[in-house]
Amino acid sequence: MENTKKKIVTIGGGTGNFTVLSGLKKYDIEISAIVNMADDGGSTGVLRHELGVLPSGDIRQCLVALSEAPEVLRDLFLYRFGIGGLAGHNFGNIFLGALEKVTNRFEDAVLVAGKILNIKGKVIPVTVEPMVLLAEYENGKTLKGQSKIANYKKHKIKKVILENEVHTSYEAIQAIMESDLIVLTPGDLYTSLIPNFLSFGMTEALRRTKAKIVYVVNLMTKRAETHGFGAYNFIEEVEKYLGVNVIDYVLVNTASPSEEIVDLYKKENEHFVNPDLDKIGNTRYKIITGDLISQIVFEKNSADKLKRSILRHDSDKLARALLNLVLL
């Protein structure tokens, strides 16, 4: 009997993918998460440089999001050590690094971890070749490394490129070509989402696929990457890398965060992303709007050395909006 389940592919980093996948996995669909491999910060960065393994942090988050294993096992893969020589390290990152050494192939390590966590769907590295991100700034400066770029606040990014050419994995291309809907997830624009497009073969696949493509615009700006951006600016930047007429839908939040949350972000010189409905309403994209904000305020683990978003999209609201597109 032919499989009639709808196939949805997500593309992004760790946090954005995690949010979208957490909602989608509750439905009877086939899910594939394609994950950025440029990460070199925090626990992931230390393991990458000291052990020579590929970055696992974003992969781990996607595995946990799709996991149907007991809660204690999911918590274990999210556990971060707070003291001692392992302070700042995440158990899941260490586990995946060890698995890569045992299996000799990162993609095999991901498959084994997926079985242990009993994931619903697939988690696919965008590439299994070492990916090093470079940012060129408007003042002519160049920075190397995802973590440095994500924290540099002095100048505006002109563009991001890769230091060396890497090739998109066959599994990622196959998932894109066979999907019904592709979701470009929210998250750090230049250091989580766009690096996926820089992998050779990715943009061609996204242009060729018959799947509908939807971009979920961020809720808040980030000082180091998208200072002063409205929704229209986010779309413009994605288009620079994908080309025009590739995205079909844009999902934009129109609800305002609480004043308390806004004030917390203002302290970092970060702000609510204006929906820009007057601008994007005149584009070819089909615009979907609504209150997409989660009522849960995310607290940072004290052992985590990286900056994390405290305001995120509501997983269930996103899932419902995305599934409606598949059923159109």
User: pTM to 2 decimals?
Assistant: 0.95
DSSP of 216-277? E--SB--TTT-TT--HHHHHHHHHHHH-TT---EEEEE-SPPPHHHHHHHHTTT--B----H
DSSP-assigned states of every residue in 2-47: -----EEEEEE-SHHHHHHHHHHTTSSSEEEEEE-----SHHHHHH
Q: Where are the domains of the chain?
A: 7-34+127-327
pLDDT at 299: 64
Planar angle of CA 132, 204, 178, nearest 5 degrees: 105
**Dist CA 48 CA 29 (whole Å):** 34
pLDDT score for 281: 80
Distance CA 41, CA 13 (A): 13
Q: Provide the pLDDT for residue 296.
A: 82
Q: CATH number of the domain at 7-34+127-327, out of 3.40.50.360, 3.40.50.10680, 3.40.50.2300, 3.40.50.880?
A: 3.40.50.10680
Per-residue model confidence (pLDDT) at position 1: 47
Spatial separation of the C-alpha atoms in residues 154 and 38, rounded to whole Å: 22
Cα–Cα dist 303/90, whole Å: 9
CA distance 206 to 176: 7
pLDDT of residue 295: 86
Mean pLDDT per 10-residue run, the chain (328 residues)?
Answer: 84 97 98 98 92 96 98 96 93 98 98 98 98 97 96 96 98 99 98 98 98 98 97 97 96 95 93 95 90 81 55 96 90
Q: For residue 303, what pLDDT is reported?
A: 52
Helix, strand, or coil (residue 80): strand
3-state secondary structure of 134: strand
